[in-house]
Amino acid sequence: MAGERPVGVTIVAVIAWIIGAIQIVGGILAIIAGGGFPAWIVLIVGIITIAVSLGLFRGNNTARIIMAVVFVINLLLAIWAIIMGVDFWDQVVAGLLAVVGLVFLYSRKASAFFS
C-alpha cells in the first residue's frame, strides 16, 4: 500500500460498508420474521460486503478485485435489463454507478494505493 487513500476509493468503501450494514440488518430482521434460507444468504452477503469494504479501506488488492467483479456483474445486469425493457432509467443509473465505481477503483491514484 503506497500513500494516502484516494477519495474515490474511500467513497466506494463507504458505500460498500453502508450496503453491507443494510444487508446485515435486513438479513437479521428477515431471519427473525421467519425468512428462511434466503434471509441467511442476505446476512452472509452483508458480512462479506463489510469484509470487502474494510479491505478497500486498508488497500487490499483482493478486495478491489472482488468489488470490481461485483461492479462488472452489476453493469452487465443493467445492460441486460435495458435490453429486456426493465426500468430504463433505473438501469442507466445502476450501470453508470458501476462504471464510476470501476473508474474510482482503477484510477492512477487508486492503482498506486492498492499496489
Can you give the pLDDT of all 115 residues of the chain as single tens digits?
457 899 999 999 999 999 999 999 999 999 999 989 989 998 998 999 999 999 999 999 999 999 999 999 889 988 998 999 888 998 898 889 999 999 999 999 999 999 8
| C-alpha to C-alpha distance for 33 and 15, rounded to whole angstroms | 27
Task: Say which DSSP state 60 is in.
Answer: -
pLDDT for residue 2: 57
pTM for the predicted model, two decimal places: 0.79
Residues 62, 18, 84, 39: is their CA dihedral positive or negative? positive
Domain ranges of the chain: 7-114
The answer for residues whose C-beta is within 8 angstroms of residue 88's C-beta and 6 or more apart is 82
pLDDT for residue 115: 86
Residues 109, 111, 112, 113: is their CA dihedral positive or negative? positive
Cell digits of residue 75: 453493469
